[in-house]
């Protein structure tokens, strides 16, 4: 299923891959947003358009299995490597062979940290041969700083209309019936534009009765994702939970939970609440606290666990918003926080926090 928001990104990636000056391109976005699906389509079209003769995909994950990566690449190029040979020997033979090849695209999906491509046996393309590499990750820092990608592309959640179109495709015509349609629309919104949530939830509710839809909607709105088993939304939870536990340090994790529980929508709010709850460690001045708040928010954005979002003419966690807030007297500020503004990843995650076994009361005590 083609989406307008993905089509433009796909074209830009193909253009970058056809650029002789680029040999490593990156795609990033939060877990479950559809990066893998997008790069698969990039690979398909790249081969169809004769940009590459071979397109090889391998999932890297948190703990790269070099032997498996070798196996997936060698199978595609027809190279046999002895099973018992040492990893460095296998890598050397693969490197030698790929240096003789041209027009090969290698897609390494789900990168979590620095990966020495030459040590694996993947030579980057130059005038004499080698491969072009397309990476996916959840953090732009992994792609730019740790892997040295020349260009990176962000994959956002689906727009509301796109999400609804995907949801309807999965459920069929049953969502067009009167009262059920309004409930189905709300269920789709709770999936927060994440394909990894939309598809299983829609499939689970297909041809179900109205009361089952209403029951599922209540479960999605409640802050206990363990109850989502009936609507099969655990995949979305597990995907995002993994990103949460990869955050560096308790201070950053607690900042994430703070934003999720209170629906705060600016760095200044993080500053005020963080100072009040004693979140920031080893801080002596307000300036230090403000710098720490900005740093923590940036880290959450770089982990794709916090997204800039425009809603009701307010842009949350943006520079423009911060400048406007700075002009206000913080002692007189009265803020009404609306659900959905500056939320961690999406509505589904605001409910996820309690399933991390950290409730707000216990968290406040721990600090």
Q: At what angle do helices 195-205 and 178-190 cross, to 10 degrees?
A: 150
Per-residue pLDDT, 352 = 39
| Distance, CA of 197 to CA of 110 (rounded, Å) | 18
For every one of its 367 residues, what pLDDT tens digit does the chain have, with 9 covering 90 and above? 678 889 999 999 999 999 988 999 999 998 889 999 999 999 999 999 999 999 999 999 888 888 888 888 888 888 887 765 788 888 888 888 888 887 899 999 999 999 999 888 998 877 656 789 999 999 999 999 999 999 999 999 999 999 999 999 999 877 777 788 999 999 999 888 888 888 888 888 888 899 999 988 888 877 544 445 544 556 667 777 778 888 888 899 999 888 877 767 788 889 988 888 888 888 888 899 999 999 999 888 888 788 665 444 444 565 555 544 443 433 333 232 233 334 444 343 344 333 333 333 333 333 3
Per-residue pLDDT, 316 = 56
| Distance, CA of 152 to CA of 248 (rounded, Å) | 23
Largest Cα–Cα distance of the chain, in whole Å?
A: 72
| Distance, CA of 89 to CA of 91 (rounded, Å) | 5
Q: Does 1.20.1260.10 match the CATH number of domain 4-154?
A: no
Cβ atoms of residues 350 and 343 within 8 Å: yes
Nearest to 109 by CA among 158, 156, 64, 52: 64
Q: Label each residue of 107-140 as H, E or C.
A: EEEEECCCCCHHHHCCCECECCECEEEEEEECCH
Listed by start position, the domains of the chain span 4-154, 160-240, 247-366
Cβ atoms of residues 106 and 75 within 8 Å: no
Global model pTM greater than 0.85: no
Burial class of residue 102 (count of CB atoms within 10 Å of its CB; 0-12, 13-18, 19+): middle
| CA triple 168-171-176, angle to 5 deg | 60
Count CB neighbours of 179 within 10 A: 10
Question: Strands 24-28 and 131-137: what pairing?
Answer: parallel
DSSP code at position 355: G
Backbone φ and ψ of 328, nearest 5°: -90, 155
Question: Strands 104-111 and 151-154: what pairing?
Answer: unpaired
């Amino acid at each position: 299923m083609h989406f307008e928001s993905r089509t433009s990104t796909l074209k830009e990636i193909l253009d970058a891959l056809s650029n002789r000056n680029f040999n490593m391109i990156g795609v990033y976005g939060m877990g479950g947003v559809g990066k893998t699906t997008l790069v698969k389509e990039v690979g398909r079209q790249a081969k169809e358009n004769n940009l590459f003769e071979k397109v090889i995909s391998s999932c890297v994950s948190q703990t790269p299995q070099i032997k498996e990566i070798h196996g997936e690449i060698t199978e595609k190029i027809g190279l046999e490597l002895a099973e018992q040979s040492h990893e460095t020997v296998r890598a050397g033979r693969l490197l030698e062979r790929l240096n003789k090849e041209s027009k090969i695209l290698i897609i390494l999906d789900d990168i979590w940290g620095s990966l020495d491509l030459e040590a694996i046996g993947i030579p980057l393309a130059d005038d004499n041969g080698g491969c072009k590499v397309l990476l996916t990750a959840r953090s732009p820092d992994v792609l730019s700083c740790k892997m040295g990608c020349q260009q990176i592309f962000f994959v956002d959640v689906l727009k509301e209309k796109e999400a609804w179109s995907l949801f309807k495709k999965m459920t069929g015509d049953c969502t067009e019936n009167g009262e059920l349609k309004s409930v189905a629309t709300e269920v789709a919104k709770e999936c927060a534009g994440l394909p990894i949530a939309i598809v299983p939830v829609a499939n689970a509710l297909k041809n179900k009765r109205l009361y089952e839809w209403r029951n599922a909607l209540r479960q999605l709105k409640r802050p206990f994702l363990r109850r989502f088993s009936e609507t099969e939304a655990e995949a979305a939870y597990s995907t995002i939970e993994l990103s949460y536990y990869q955050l560096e340090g308790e201070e950053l994790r607690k900042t994430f939970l703070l934003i999720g529980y209170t629906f705060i929508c600016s760095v200044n709010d993080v500053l005020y609440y963080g100072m009040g709850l004693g979140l920031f460690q080893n801080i002596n001045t307000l300036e230090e606290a403000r710098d720490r708040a900005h740093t923590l928010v940036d880290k959450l954005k770089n982990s794709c666990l916090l997204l800039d979002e425009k809603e009701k003419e307010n842009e949350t966690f943006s520079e423009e918003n911060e400048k406007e807030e700075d002009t206000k007297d913080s002692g007189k500020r009265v803020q009404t926080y609306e659900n959905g503004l500056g939320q961690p990843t999406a509505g589904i995650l605001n409910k996820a926090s309690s399933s991390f076994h950290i409730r707000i009361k216990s968290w406040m005590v721990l600090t």
